[in-house]
Structure 1
Amino acid sequence: MARPVEENKNVIQSYMLTAARYDFSVYEKRILYRLVELAQAELQGKDFVEWIGMKVETNLFGDKDITMPVRCILANEEDKNYVLAKKAFKAMSSRTIEQTKGNVWYLDHMLERVRVNLGTGVAKFRVSPNVWNIVLDFTKGYRKYELKTTMQFKSVYSMRFYELLSGQTNPLKYSIEEFRKMFSLEKKFKAVADIERYVLEVAQKELDESSPYSFSWERQEVSSRGRNGKKVVGYTFYPKYIQKNKDPQLEKKELQAKVGNIAGAYGMLDRAVSDYLLYNLNMTKEEINANKALFLTAQQTLPNLVEHLADLRERAVRSGKGTGWIINGLKGKLKEIKDLEEL
């Protein structure tokens, strides 16, 4: 049965899931992505799109009975690996998730009562109210990402980095111990060189090729008596936005929802400038309008305004400064040019 063509969409994932410690396979992660998608649709009061065969029903006890064709966790039409997909459903039924509410500690299986019809390729399973609530728990923040992009990654490390970096503007710092725990690497890669080769470099390459969000990274080192005189104690990851990898249709919808008509309140800005302000500096319509005169003047004065903004952003990130520092830096640059012209 051919897979229906799905429209790409942004989904919102609880930061509790984004930063959780687990060791899922790529196919298990895709099941989790579908749960996030279904939970968000229900939260928005939508009747889920049954044309792709997924459905959520709530029983009297609050359990969610879910119908999901196995093809929904395959990467694309070329992915025929139903064996790994079935293995993922089996693994997810054995995995548990825990939380504490008041004086009660809860332990629930991620999936329960898994059934897969080998003839139709349709999976049915149950999710407990506690697991469903964790999927929808945004009290500690959230991450927004493109569903279609996540479903096509080949590396689970790419998936994890994409979730962590999507929409992120500030550097992320982890000690070696924290990073190993979050990515469940304690028993996989003992040597730092192996972490860099099989985790960081693999994820960075795949994100650079197909994701709107990627990263560069630096070692955190201390002096050591070892062979190189240095010991790696952690990493700093610098997010970077890659415009060419953004889904253009999804970007158009997002832009319309965020700032209305691009030819409106600040339509005199070049598209490259407005894109950079929106997506790299994550400025709102109100913030852009409040500084509209500054940006228009800078655009007329600096032929390569985006490069100047990128330089200011990089310096701000490394200094732990925010958007206000960048705006003041731009004002300072324009004043410097004006002073030179008056000499």
Structure 2
Amino acid sequence: MSVISKRIMARVLEQIKEDDLELREFYQLRVTSLVEGTDMTVESAYTFAKQALYELARVQWEFEDVETKEWYLRPLLDGTKERRVGIKDGTITIILNPQLAPYFVNIAGQYSTYKLEGYLGLHSWYSMRFFEILSSFRVSGWWEVSLEKYREVMDCGPELDKYGQIKKDKAGKVKMKLANASDLIAKTVLGAQKELQTTPYAFDYHPVYEQERVGRGRRKIVGLRFDLQQKQLTAVPPSWLTDKDAGPVIANLRSFKVTDKNIALYLKTMTLAGARKLLYEWRIKENSQQKIDDKTKYCNAVFVRAAKVLIEERKELALADKRIAQQALFPGLTT
């Protein structure tokens, strides 16, 4: 997918919530939301959005059963509904293929979990691809991959002709995109490393060399290792549990089945005061005729949703402060 197609899908995926059981009939986003963090104008965004919709309409998901070898395709978008995929009054409408619902619902909340911080401001396709991949390794904090697999996930495998067939040179050798490993690293890794430096997925990397050198010269690069500079907090730190203020709040959140992972991820955002407010509301609910049937599902969803609302509100305040500062420096500037 192109960068703009990725932006559109990111805006769609962030609307799929952790407690969703099925896809919505349709998803919508403003064309202007594609402009944020870029040098695009609103006018050019319309043109790029149309091109991206053409591209998304051609996207196919490929399935193959390893044992039975059954193989089939399913399109990403559903163009059979009365409501149409397209653009109207500055709003893009996307209808996802309902046959893909189990896969999209399964990743529900992941795009909002890492909150798209920095993602929509990335300009390079490789940077966006790194962002997507490294988000899956936030817990371990590192990703090590063979050079062959790296080429595959970065779309740097064999060159293809217009019929989708692999190109070969006169000697019958397969032509590879960025065939030289040094060029591959320079073109795909270094730029992405620079762009991701201010996101949660800033990383360091080093090549993985073959164990034994074959012939003369340097050892061959056979893989790459990427280490995240910020490992995601997914367990409650012991210092929080022993804190005289935080400890009791965490104990009470646990009694309402809020997971340690969600506590670790969002308690700082919620603040202790905000968490106490939620706990108070839940106790009132428990003592009424509208008891919480499923604490695990309900309380986790409410806790995470409340934290994400605060995150978005703080982003808006930060943007407003930035605009005020810009106007103070440049009185004639309009935004």
Q: TM-score, normalised by structure 2?
A: 0.54
Identity over aligned pairs, percent: 23
Cα distance, 1:178–1:38 mapped onto 2, change above 3 Å: same
Cα distance, 1:44–1:112 mapped onto 2, change above 3 Å: closer
Tell me if the contact between 2:12 and 2:29 (Cα under 8 Å) persists in the aligned partners.
no
SS of 1:172 mapped into structure 2: strand
> Please, which of 143, 149, 153 is the counterpart of residue 122 of structure 2?
153
Could you say which residue in structure 1 is the equivalent of 2:178? 189
Q: Distance in 2 between matches of 1:36 and 1:158?
A: 18
Deviations 1:302-342 (A, max 9, x none): xxxxxxxxxxxxxxxxxxxxxxxxxxxxxxxxxxxxxxxxx
Q: Distance in 2 between matches of 1:77 and 1:197?
A: 24
Deviations 1:28-80 (A, max 9, x none): 111221221122277189xxxxxxxxxx853xxxxxx3333222333347422
List aligned pairs for 1:9-48, cutoff 5 A: 24-40=1-17, 43=20
Could you say which residue in structure 2 is the equivalent of 1:225? 215
List aligned pairs for 1:1-343, cutoff 5 A: 24-40=1-17, 43=20, 57-58=24-25, 65-76=26-37, 78-80=39-41, 81-82=44-45, 83-99=47-63, 105-113=71-79, 115-117=85-87, 120-138=89-107, 144-166=113-135, 167-186=138-157, 187=159, 188-208=177-197, 210-222=198-210, 223-225=213-215, 228-241=217-230, 264-265=245-246
Cα distance, 1:260–1:149 mapped onto 2, change above 3 Å: farther
Cα distance, 1:238–1:94 mapped onto 2, change above 3 Å: same
Cα distance, 1:216–1:148 mapped onto 2, change above 3 Å: closer
Tell me if the contact between 1:97 and 1:107 (Cα under 8 Å) persists in the aligned partners.
yes
Could you say which residue in structure 2 is the equivalent of 1:272? none
Deviations 1:219-250 (A, max 9, x none): 11121336x4221111111111199xxxxxxx
Tell me if the contact between 1:173 and 1:237 (Cα under 8 Å) persists in the aligned partners.
yes
Question: Which runs of at least 4 in structure 1 moved beyond 6 Å after TM superposition?
Answer: 101-104, 259-263, 282-285
SS of 2:149 mapped into structure 1: helix
Could you say which residue in structure 2 is the equivalent of 1:288? none
Q: Distance in 2 between matches of 1:240 and 1:158?
A: 16
Higher relative contact order, chain-length normalized (CA < 8 Å, sep 6+): 1
Q: Distance in 1 between matches of 2:48 and 2:149?
A: 29
Q: Distance in 2 between matches of 1:130 and 1:242?
A: 35
Structure 1 unaligned runs (5+)? 1-23, 46-55, 59-64, 244-250, 268-281, 286-343
Cα distance, 1:191–1:77 mapped onto 2, change above 3 Å: closer
Could you tell me which amino acid in structure 2 is paired with residue 111 of structure 1? L
SS of 2:140 mapped into structure 1: coil
Could you tell me which amino acid in structure 1 is paired with residue 60 of structure 2? T
SS of 1:185 mapped into structure 2: coil
Corresponding residue pairs, total? 216
Measured on the aligned residues, the alpha-carbon RMSD in Å equals 3.8
